[in-house]
Amino acid sequence: MAKGSKYIAFVELITLTLFHITVTPGVASYALPFAHDLKRQRKYVVIGFPILRWSTGALWDEANIWLGALAQSIPTQDIRIKSIRFLAYALLTFMRFVESEGRAWNYLPLIPADRIINRYRKHLIDARQNGELAASTVSAKMSVVLRLFRWAQINKIISSVAFEVTGVKVVKVPDRYGRELAVSVSFSNLAIPNRKASTDRVEGGLMPVSIDYRNELIDFARDHLSYELYLMIRIAFESGLRIDSICDLKVNTIHWATPDFFDAGLSWLQVGPNVDGAPVTTKFGVQGVVMIGTALLDELKEYCKSIRRITRENRAPENCQALLFITKSGSSYGRRLNADGSAINSLIYAAKEKARKMGLSFDDFHFHRARATFGVAIVQCGMECIPSIPLSDVLSFARDCLLHKDIETTMTYVRFLQNSKIKAKYANEYTAVMMGRHAERSK
């Protein structure tokens, strides 16, 4: 959603100047420090600082003051602007939940279950259980909200009545020699431990979607959503690329694709931050090539030279012109310093709203589920070739396709498929036994 949206809360990125204040009797003056050293002075001008706005456009003053207080440590490098933006986007999830509940962010009645922060905790846990959010994401988002509430209480912004139960417990952990050490750990009844909802999930703790679900979503995107979002969804399902990488694809990435030597229906894209002339952001900076269908690749090549995209390129600043996907305003769909970092998330949010109005439900869709679906398909095809192809080769191929840094991440797909087969076999045998017993009782 664009800045100033009347529908959902959003993050706005601004340039924040950290002035030093000098107070003399009756006069307060503001100035940047180190006037004699411009290099040091530039550290006090923070580009891409996030501020939070409600759907009405009003500022969330309390949260913005907290983020601003943290920003004082940027010049000394005790905190990075990237970390503050992470905190802001975590709070954005809370803001949108608050607005959906129709309550104030600091609504803290006497009954704990009615408090907005307790209800948000339950909302996050439900999202984890349903495979909508990874366990680590849920834990991190709740942790940020708790930090804000604690700061607000210390500064007497919210009620002094305790909103959480805290304490210290002792846990035993082994040291490098196998001896047990007692370690004191703080705990809160509102914190969400980083544990997986189920072992029957893949990378990121998410579930793949069914083929019917995938096809229905792609058809809906083609017929009712923007052409850019339709293409992004197809790329996610057909290549397994993360959304950050999709948003950072370059026109040259598409033009420099190479056809597969054995299969004319497949092609390969070279991605990674060190690709000369077409760098693409990847997790952990992994370099590699990813699979893509040649039919989709041809469609992307046509899009590259379309009037629609060229018009957007002409509106874009120089640092965005090489991107494959550019918004109407000429910015990136991804999180960049001078762009609305929530552009792609807002598109997905609006798409889900539109689907609901049409009687469809894609509320549980996330781009990472498309990646999970691709990964399961790749590993499943390889495992069906065992023993003619060793499992180690299957894992190596899948790891390269998914740009995994560690093979252990790829193994989650193998375990998922193995567990699925075991559960299916158990379910079949259980049904046969139970139906047999029912037939015997019916005689």
pLDDT at 340 over 80: no
Are residues 242 and 371 in contact, defined by beta-carbon separation less than 8 angstroms? Answer: yes
Q: pLDDT at position 23, please? A: 77
Q: What is the pLDDT of residue 175?
A: 52
Give me the pLDDT at residue 338, please.
42
What are the pLDDT digits (tens) for 228-250?
A: 999 999 999 999 999 999 999 99
pLDDT of 39 over the 80 cut: no
Quick check: pTM over 0.85? Answer: no
Per the CB < 8 A criterion, the answer to whether 335 and 171 are in contact is no
| Mean pLDDT, residues 387-393 | 86
> Does pLDDT of 17 surpass 70?
yes
Mean pLDDT, the chain, rounded, equals 86
Q: Are 66 and 151 in contact (CB under 8 A)?
A: yes
Looking at per-residue confidence, does 5 or 167 come out higher?
167
Domain with CATH 1.10.443 in the chain: 203-366
pLDDT digits (tens, 9 = 90+) for 159-210: 888 899 888 877 665 555 556 667 666 778 999 987 654 555 677 667 899 9
For residue 404, pLDDT beyond 90 = yes
Residue 439 phi/psi, 5-degree rounding, is -65, -40
Question: Among 125-129, 255-259, 416-420, which is the least confidently predicted range?
Answer: 416-420
The answer to whether 374 and 237 are in contact (CB under 8 A) is yes
Q: Which helix (H) or strand (E) holds 380?
A: helix 367-383
Q: Is the pLDDT of residue 436 over 80?
A: no
* pLDDT for residue 5 is more than 50: no
pLDDT at 278 over 60: yes
- State the DSSP string of 138-167: HHHHHHHHHHHHHHHHHTTSS-SS--S-EE
Of residues 204, 106, 192, the one with CA closest to residue 156: 106
Q: What is the pLDDT of residue 422?
A: 64
| Residue % of the chain over a pLDDT of 70 | 86
Looking at residue 172, what is its pLDDT? 66
Instruction: Report the pLDDT value the prediction gives residue 339, as an integer from 0 to 100.
Output: 41
Q: Looking at the structure, give the CATH architecture of the domain made up of residues 203-366.
A: Orthogonal Bundle (1.10)
Q: Which string of b and e fits 359-374 if b means at least 16 CB within 10 Å?
A: eeebeebbbbbbbbbb
Give pLDDT, residue 173: 59
Q: Is the pLDDT of residue 423 over 80?
A: no
